[in-house]
């Protein structure tokens, strides 16, 4: 039996993690199986629209995952939901299918009778740009044969195309809080007709400080609506927000009873202590392990991400970097190249941890120790998705050993001391299935991918940072770690200002030169006339306010 359903009395509550906050729930559903397709059921069994079922079938999606099987009956009936599931369990379609089914498209009966035809009927709020793109892509996949229009709204892109999309009319809006609020305040985005609100990765929005913005958006929607909130964890502020904006939701939890750890058991986790000068060499060997597919390397800093990516390219790997110093166009170029298999190694800072949703990532490498257990979970959760197996390798530097001890204790990983490892260590090869004799450069015979330059860089009309990668494979980052566009602009302004000041000074000097040259000719009448005039000054002495002596003299 894959599903447990428990009807609860009205006073039953869902309690927050490590907090006294709680919310009354109507029912609780939980799965007792690992994330995998349920072959005995299809999406049509849940009365999903035929055009959505066909769209999913065309994409190779025919059977639901447990969390989808639990979510669909509740969500399709219009009830509020609090979904609790780890990353990679398939929750996007769990809320995406009900959203697409419940909105009224242009060709649907009743569209002309809507209060404002073409105004957004559903709002999906996510914490990061990358996740917004991924969720919108999944919804578009499920609506290929459905006449629902989807707009993705996030910062870093030009306002005009997003405003035009809203003016043309959309049924579903997917976006990040900041840009959504901007367009709402500018009266380009109307939320008065929204009937469905989805808050995805609510705990991440809390960590990023977005909850006040989310509450502002919720306050702009009608009081009568369906609200679905999804979160891997349930911190107090998230439960408090749910209590204010939801009505006796159904709690749905996708759990694996055989998975006793906090991280998924499908992920093989290896912890090493590597020397900083040997770390790239170790990584290059790991990337040649047997069965290695798409891989993500996480770093703490933008400079490290650019540096590691460039070093791997020098070693023959098809790698690309994604970090905050890149413009949105360059970031999307890297993600597309990664998904389209033009590169198979993505070097990223934590900004991308929540937004990369690719099912067949086989390896995650923490190039530097994560800050805490939550960051560790988010990074490692990029692999082992949708029931697949994965490998996570974490490097812990000497100074980070105490931090790792806290992470290990919090997650119960039972690896208190990272194993000292070098590129020549025999256990490195056996632990990670690396063929013997592997070196730190990818053989030319294995360099088959096109690379980042084979993916088109779109001109997004970006605001702020450069859309391009600049010169160099690291994405155009300066040595100092600042965006090239920002730094170059300041230098140009300073140079132009200095040029203007030099011009003014030069003009004054040039005007003075003829006068200075003419002066000797006018003074040839005599020596006294040619001599410089003496300055005179007057000395005045006063006593009790009265002048007692006044003398005029010359100053030599």
Quick one: pLDDT at residue 1?
35
Residues forming CATH 3.40.50.300 domain(s) in the chain: 3-254, 267-483
pLDDT in tens, 46-57: 999 999 999 999
Could you tell me where the DSSP H helices lie in 158-263? 159-168, 177-185, 202-207, 211-219, 236-245
Cα–Cα distances in angstroms (integers) from residue 145 to residues 42, 55, 131, 468, 497, in the given order: 18, 6, 23, 35, 58
Q: What is the pLDDT of residues 95-114, one digit of tens each?
A: 999 999 999 999 999 999 99
Fold entry, domain 3-254? Rossmann fold (3.40.50)
Of residues 480 and 462, the one with the higher pLDDT is 462
Confidence at 40, pLDDT banded by 50, 70, 90: confident
- pLDDT at 528 exceeding the cut of 70: no
pTM (2 d.p.):
0.70
pLDDT in tens, 172-202: 999 999 999 999 999 999 999 999 999 999 9
* Predicted pLDDT at 520: 44
What CATH fold (topology level) applies to the domain 267-483? Rossmann fold (3.40.50)
Q: Please give the pLDDT value at position 418.
A: 96
b/e 343-378 (16+ beta carbons within 10 angstroms → b): bbbbbbbbbbbbbbbbeebbbbbbbbbbeebbbbbb
Residue 89 confidence (pLDDT): 75
Tell me the three state secondary structure of residue 34. Answer: coil
Q: Is the dihedral of CA 265, 127, 20, 247 positive or negative?
A: negative
């Amino acid at each position: 039996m894959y599903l447990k359903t428990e009807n609860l009395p009205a006073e039953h509550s869902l309690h927050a993690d490590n907090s006294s906050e709680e919310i009354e729930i109507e029912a609780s559903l939980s799965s007792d199986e690992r994330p995998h397709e349920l072959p005995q059921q299809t999406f049509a069994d849940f009365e999903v629209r035929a055009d959505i079922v066909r769209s999913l079938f065309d994409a190779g999606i025919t059977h639901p995952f447990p969390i989808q099987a639990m979510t669909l009956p509740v969500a399709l009936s219009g009830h509020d939901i609090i979904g609790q599931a780890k990353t990679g369990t398939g929750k996007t379609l769990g809320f995406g299918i009900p959203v697409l089914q419940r909105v009224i498209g242009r060709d649907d009966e009743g569209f002309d009778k809507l209060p404002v035809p073409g105004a957004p009927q559903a709002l999906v709020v996510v914490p990061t740009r990358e996740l917004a793109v991924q969720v919108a892509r999944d919804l578009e996949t499920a609506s290929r044969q459905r006449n629902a229009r989807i707009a993705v709204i996030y910062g870093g892109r030009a306002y005009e195309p997003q405003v035009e999309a809203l003016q043309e009319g959309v049924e579903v809006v997917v976006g990040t809080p900041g840009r959504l609020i901007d367009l709402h305040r500018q009266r380009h985005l109307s939320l008065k007709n929204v009937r469905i609100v989805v808050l995805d990765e609510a705990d991440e929005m809390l960590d990023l400080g977005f909850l006040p913005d989310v509450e502002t958006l919720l306050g702009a929607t009608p009081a009568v609506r369906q609200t679905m909130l999804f979160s891997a964890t349930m911190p107090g502020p998230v439960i408090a927000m749910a209590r204010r904006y939801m009505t006796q939701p159904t709690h749905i939890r996708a759990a694996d009873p055989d998975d006793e750890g906090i991280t998924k058991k499908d992920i093989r986790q290896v912890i090493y202590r590597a020397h900083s000068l040997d770390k790239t060499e170790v990584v290059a060997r790991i990337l040649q392990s047997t069965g290695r597919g798409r891989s993500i390397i996480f770093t703490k800093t933008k400079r490290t991400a650019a540096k590691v990516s460039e070093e791997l390219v020098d070693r023959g790997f098809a790698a690309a970097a994604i970090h905050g110093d890149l413009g949105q166009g360059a970031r999307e170029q890297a993600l597309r190249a990664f998904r389209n298999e033009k590169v198979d190694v993505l070097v990223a800072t934590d900004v991308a941890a929540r937004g990369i949703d690719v099912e067949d990532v086989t390896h995650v490498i923490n190039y530097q120790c994560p800050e805490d257990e939550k960051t560790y979970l988010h990074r490692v959760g990029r692999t082992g998705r949708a029931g697949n197996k994965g490998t996570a390798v974490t490097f812990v530097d000497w100074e980070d050993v105490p931090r790792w001890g806290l992470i290990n204790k919090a997650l119960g990983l039972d690896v208190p001391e990272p194993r000292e490892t070098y590129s020549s260590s025999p256990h490195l090869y056996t632990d990670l299935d690396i063929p013997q004799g592997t070196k730190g450069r990818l053989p030319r015979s294995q360099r088959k991918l096109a690379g980042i330059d084979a993916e088109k860089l779109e001109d997004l009309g970006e605001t702020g940072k450069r859309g391009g990668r600049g010169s160099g494979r690291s994405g155009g980052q300066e040595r100092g770690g600042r965006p090239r566009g920002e730094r170059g602009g300041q230098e140009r302004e300073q140079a132009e200002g200095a040029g203007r000041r030099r011009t003014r000074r030069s003009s004054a000097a040039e005007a003075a030169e003829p006068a200075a040259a003419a002066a000797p000719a006018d003074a040839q009448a005599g020596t006294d006339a040619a001599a410089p005039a003496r300055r005179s000054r007057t000395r005045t002495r006063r006593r009790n306010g009265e002048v007692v002596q006044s003398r005029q003299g010359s100053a030599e």
